[in-house]
Structure 1
């Protein structure tokens, strides 16, 4: 089980809270963990704050400073603070809390919620005339759009932030924003603008001796020269970046700079030097198991070997590159690799294979173009919505003028959107029609089967039973947990990926409800190692619930005491290994009994979803179901491998 441990030097911060908790509870304070004591102190401060803005400010400061220690309580505390600050009309606190909660939503990839919260914070900042906060809000709004590759929408916010930073004389923030603008324009292929902002960032970074920012700037400036086919100008920039990264002992950054330098030598035609540097980069990338970059390096080594007429070696290098690119689903790499294969087989007059790889290369290019068209449509839709929101804010000062502008802008954007939609659907309708229908069918099945109707029936029956037995508090608690689980499942059903932390939270809600429904006849444990980054790792949602359901309904159903379900997570290679173990009768005995193992709709949907996932992750191992009686134990062990979707 994960447990948060605070260093002993922090004890003096929490002594007052510990004293209060010790005096106010019959159980000794020593039974609580340090993180629980922090949470109790925050709750006490919030409950006592009422309309006292000084206490509200102290509570917000505590929540923000202790956000890592309080873990999953961070968002609920911010939401509770927002309710109390709204009641007290504490505008400054609301402004900060909306911004903090928006940041957390962005880290959780809930970008729409993040944008809404940053907009609310911005509205208050404008009313209060807080230019520094406005600067934060503009930057955070830009980052929320940039994380979705909506660069057209991100750029205006970054420019607003930069203008305010320069007005305030905040060199450090201005340097970071120039760097972000450079990276955004580079992604847009606007090389002159990217170069301008990166050089501006570098001037400030050199003045401040900010070596990390300097290294990033030199690297991106070198990439710009590579894109302009000017390797001689790129190499000195890469060398500067490499020197700084070596000083900072930044291994991953060193490897990236090395493979960029190797690309420059490849452009120059110095294949021997390029291959040598690619091999240096491979040694580091292999250490960190970075298949995306390893694939790139092997692809270029294959191209070099083709140029050197080492055809058999080239075929091996390109095959290795292709396998890795398929593992990480890197479309850009696959285009490059199939083009290299085409060149290889044309050189050896193997025209059938050359044609096959040319066809594959074009198919991946079409996929990239389709994604590009869809992103352009998304840009237009969100731009339209954003313009409407901003106009609503500014309507207080110039209602009539903005109303006219909004109508004109709306008509123009809608017209452009319709034209773009018509063009895209014309280009993609034939190729995508069958795939879209199948995808939609499976999505609808998934949405309908995420919550087992039998489970809903049992849950509502249990609530009714508690009410009949005059236990309204227990019924209310059960209903509250049931509502949390339902909301969590509905939210996750609409997403292709969620964090492992969110998946664990949903499964915990499910197990708690089943535990209450079965009158605590079983216990459960959820284990994972401390170094497993559950907040950063993304996996497909709701793949494990059917197996937990089977453990409860068939494995431990007739056990009245001692029943245990254990859910364990670990990271293996590029996958998450999830083990669901129960100490029930075992799958063999369950299958042979009168109550045969029920094949639920959720289990069937699991098989269909895994078949689709296997198309993109062919190396993903199949689930394994094992009867533990073979090992002189009781129960069943199910092992399911989840792809890491980051």
Structure 2
């Protein structure tokens, strides 16, 4: 070996040692990370345990608190998979509740403990505790709790093949729910009832109760997601029994879609398995086998494994693979849960008998045939069937009797309600008549007040000072031989007088009439003041003046004040502007002058002329009568703009078209 060869071997050795070290370090780091995460999880769980254990300790001598603390701890352990420890703590909680004779807690704790017993396969203690919980629930008269525990008992008995007891407790649960009109999870009860009849091969009753559940499934709180999945599954199975394969596949497809949307594996598995059965009947064996293999990805309980093994065995038989089929059904016999699923148990025994016969194992075939007959005799025992029928007949008879009793009670209540209604009606009629009488008096008083106000408005509009001044001005034009102006102003004065007299007696006038009155009044005042001011009335030309109705003569007092006080100390250059705007539910009038305005420190309260008092009273009456208010605002322009004089008044007068 040359010198270079030695060096090469040495370098390779170093490289290998370095790689191995790096790999070990990486593994060590990964291991540390996993240990750290696991340690963290353990710490969190331990801290929760410690908290719950401390809750038990600090309960002191309060027995109820101690019971509830053990109950909480038991539930925590159950959720975390520590079933034996959970049962131990739940038993302590139940024992304390029994010592306290607290039926409400006995029912709640007992129901949970019985369910936990069932999950670990301890069936008889589960039933015993359910019965204790049921009796306590009955004493509390909590119909919801009674029905829930009763149906749990029914499910247990159904699972164990004791169908007479199953139907007894199931019917009891239904009777309680229906009598109390408690529709919460009612679909669960109907589905459970249907399942019992399915197990005893009573197709008619199976379909009857599933259809009841189907009708209520979309009502609030009537069905959980699991209930809805079971309804679709049963509807598909019933359609399949009737040979309606297309309809059955549609139900199973609905079940699969619904279950996939919410990640409900049991629903997906059931949909695939049941669809496989249909494709088998349609002689599409490969498709059926493919669906069964796909369903295995969603298994969550022993029943699915047992049912799947039986279904696959049947398909393998059709494909001529009897040995594979035998292997699958023999697996079922090793599962203790097989004996609690009567239909699948029957199918397993039948397959074992038939497959062994095909494989010429006649001794084995006969042995399994005998086992099948024993099971069938138990399932189809005439006493059991008769007991079930008698129980259901009794239930239906009681239900009808309750309905008759209920109708009688309802009739009595109806008569009582009619009598009570007549008394109430008489009282209401007297009350209404009294209210109408009071309202009539108030309306007459309001009408009298309104008539007085109209007279006051008329007096302010047509006060002698204004009349004499207007007539004097017209006479002055006549003496100056200015017949045209004298005639014009006389015409306006006559129109204003006529309008004032007419409008003082009505509740509303058109906007056109209001503008005409304002224009005549300002023209006469302009003539009387010898043109010391100019005026303008501005409004949108599209405004429908002839169809909009408003209360009359609300603006005139403010126009009068603007002319009388605003232009008091000026000889010319006065400007009075009235802007009218449609604001949908009211008409906005803005009256603005460039006169002296108010003195410094002036407020609205300082200006209480007779005209203003009348305006306020009219405003109050309109608010009471029409239930409409309107904005009224006076602004001294100098307060907002130091270089500007005058006053701006904004009045929003309500439109009365619909009143």
The TM-score by the shorter chain falls in which range? Answer: 0.3 to 0.5
TM-score normalised by structure 1 residue count: 0.45
Computing the radius of gyration from Cα coordinates, the structure with the larger value is 2
TM-score normalised by structure 2 residue count: 0.44
